[in-house]
Structure 1
């Protein structure tokens, strides 16, 4: 650090000599942390005050990563060799805060430092990663040295505003120029991949090829939840582990994480389940060839934006509980949007009180007036469907027996067929709500082949025996894929009478 990048005018309320002395001292202090990001973090932020009240410094794992960077840069033998750090972790450990503090240190302690930040999706980058980066930049003691916008941080020195900066750059497999141009010879480059598990391999390859400048401090850090057991992020811990400083952080070991929620997940799913491995232990899911729906497909469905077409029908699926601790679940889906209308859960114990239960279901269905309602008619569901048809004659109520024949001979039964269509919809762009229980239900079922070589989904009772959970919510969502549904051209209030905007008597 040779100088301050500030071009801010001198405060009128302070004597100029005193201001200059304070600024000069600040420059010297910050310069002493050129190869010490942890020391910088302790110095630069108002720990214990305001937004950091009750916090006395970076978390232990954040300190370790910062010290790895400091040790690498302080050693003349490694300083100009690329440092590549991969951190796979559970949820809630403070990844975005770590990213932000490292970026702030890198820019504040090196002239003309160049930083590029990307994430798994543009939405993640825009709404989660960059706001956190901006927050820590604002909290920094040298916040006046830089200007922060919605997509960049740049030095206030006009002569260096293009060369001394950090940029939030969405990635694209068809447009990798931003990552191919990561050159800053003789100075410092920092590349951050947030939620790295879902960044395309091609982007990794292009970025790696660009980080070749000699006599340059090069730091590449990949953070993320380990949602995929394939891809370049996974290979940081396997095939390329000799090149990466890789660590896995268990949420249970980190101060400030929600230990009550973690304990609940452990009790519900088991500590060795893929759900718990990914969300808590920071471990990659098992490479199970039997898992019907890949974990990373579900993770992506949770993150993506919910959209649907104007011509998409609104479809309702109702999974009927058999009593006990299972739930009745009512799900709605419009095209690829299964998130916007919240699901409704009714305890299975209420199924016995048929009158009250039917009344609740009717209230929910009539509120949204879907184009079709698919009801699980297996067992006690048949009489429920009959009652719904009687009470709501203007709405199409269709019985679906999970064990009945599939319309496609490749599948052993109707339930397998619906789940497979749900699976393919998740791959095609379906958006679902961020519900840990739904995520677990979708990723738990396994499949095989029967004697006729048909695909056969694991039975619901077998899933419950194996995992202790019944996929009621996921079954309700799968029901919305029973058959294709056209958007209605009539109102349910007028039975099947067609409505038209054309009025033959209008002049």
Structure 2
């Protein structure tokens, strides 16, 4: 038999463990092979660390640990939360992630990020229907349109569940919202010089899906994600790893970001822990973290690059 040690159950795993006496086991470490590119090894170490399951499976040729890894190290989330806020002279882009819940223990979250580098305080709602969340989203759009008049606003909504209702209604309201913002600006800048007048208001409403197709975050990423949940959270992870974003300081958000686990599946792809499994471990749904992931998500970019 020949294979990558991706699972800690099954016939191949047993041949190297409880049934080892029946086999002649041979282990190949990628670092000792001239068929493995050194840059590949260095990239894995840089992105995931030598103690990660990604490194164990894809480089060292070892079986995963018995317990899954946390996808985002808590120290990365803490560092990004405690970092000084970047100075932005003029904001040119506002991304707003909208994760929609209705009733029960989950929360609906509207999360704004400025120029992809500064997360502002999200709005968190409980026990609201989709029309109320749509109204709150419209309020957020208008608030940021006033605060950052040179910025285009991009609203990303999870449409796998209740969010599709918010997306549909907000799409219907888009022209009205744009017209109201433009009318307000015309009154404010009636006597201003052209160079001092902000550009036409740009509002983009984006349909997103956590259950969509997977892939890699960038062309240089050596690891694929099973689905778009991994891609979205992978973008957050990479922003935190590289120090590219300043997070709003909140212990609940830090907990949500750092408590989600991942495994390397039999195809060698990263698969994030499902929310149902998290709740079985006594954790709440990562609604704030999901809204942040939506805000950083850009489904129109083919290489999933944060840059």
Tell me if both proteins adopt one fold, taking TM over 0.5 as the criterion.
yes
CA 1:407–1:308 in structure 2 vs 1: closer, same or farther (change >3 Å)?
Answer: farther
Q: What is the alpha-carbon distance in structure 1 between the residues aligned to residue 261 and residue 284 of structure 2?
A: 14
- Which structure's relative contact order is higher, taking Cα pairs within 8 Å and 6+ residues apart? 2
Query: 2:108 aligned with 1:328, yes or no?
Result: yes
Contact 1:410-1:455 at 8 Å conserved across structures: yes
Once the 2 structures are TM-superposed, how far is the Cα of residue 336 of structure 1 from its aligned partner? Answer: 4.8
Residue 376 of structure 1 corresponds to 158
Give runs of aligned pairs for residues 1-400 of structure 1, distance below 5 A.
Answer: 290-307=69-86, 310=90, 313-339=93-119, 341-347=120-126, 349-351=127-129, 354-369=130-145, 371-393=153-175, 394=178, 395-400=203-208
1:167-221 deviations in Å (ceiling 9; x for gaps): xxxxxxxxxxxxxxxxxxxxxxxxxxxxxxxxxxxxxxxxxxxxxxxxxxxxxxx
Equivalent residues of 1:320, 1:380 under 8 A apart = yes
Which runs of 4 or more aligned residues in structure 1 lie more than 6 Å from their structure 2 counterparts after TM superposition? Answer: none
- In 2, the alpha carbon distance for the partners of 1:308 and 1:452 equals 43
Cα offset for 1:299? 1.4
Shift of 1:303: 1.2
SS at match of 2:118: coil
| Deviation (angstroms), 1:390 | 0.8
CA RMSD across the alignment: 2.4
- Give CA-to-partner distance per residue, 1:338-376, whole Å, 9 cap, x none: 34x3210111x212xx43332222112222135211101
Secondary structure of the equivalent of 2:96? strand
Structure 2 Cα separation of the partners of residues 333 and 480 of structure 1: 7
**Residue 433 of structure 1, CA deviation:** 1.9
Residue 317 of structure 1 contacts residue 480 of structure 1 at CA under 8 Å; is this kept in 2?
Answer: yes
CA contact (8 A) 1:313 1:334 kept: yes
CA distance 1:380–1:463, change in 2 (3 Å): same
The Cα shift of 1:477 comes to 0.3
* Residue 417 (str. 1) matches residue 197 (str. 2): no
- TM-score (ref. length: structure 1): 0.36
Residue segments in structure 1 that go unaligned for 5+ positions in a row: 1-229, 231-287, 487-507
- 2:95 & 2:248 partners in 1: Cα distance? 16
2:209 matched to which residue of 1?
Answer: 401
**SS of 1:480 mapped into structure 2:** helix
> Greater CA radius of gyration, 1 or 2?
1
Does the CA-based 8 Å contact 2:131-2:166 persist in structure 1? no
**Cα distance in 2, alignment partners of residues 443 and 356 from structure 1:** 30
Distance in 1 separating the partners of 2:299 and 2:162: 25
Q: Distance in 1 between matches of 2:278 and 2:92?
A: 32
With normalisation by structure 2, the TM-score equals: 0.59
Distance in structure 2 (CA, Å) of the matches to 1:334 and 1:359: 21
Contact map agreement 2:99 2:290 (CA 8 A) in 1: yes
Secondary structure class of the residue paired with 2:213: coil
Residues 454 and 440 of structure 1, relative CA distance in 2, 3 Å threshold: same
Residue in 2 that maps onto 1:468: 283
Cross-structure match for 1:426: 240
**TM-fit CA distance, 1:301:** 0.8
**Aligned equivalents of 2:153 and 2:83: distance in 1?**
25
Q: Distance in 2 between matches of 1:422 and 1:308?
A: 21
SS in 1 for 2:166: helix
Superposition deviation, residue 289 in structure 1 = 6.3
- Cα distance in 2 for residues equivalent to 1:311 and 1:358: 24
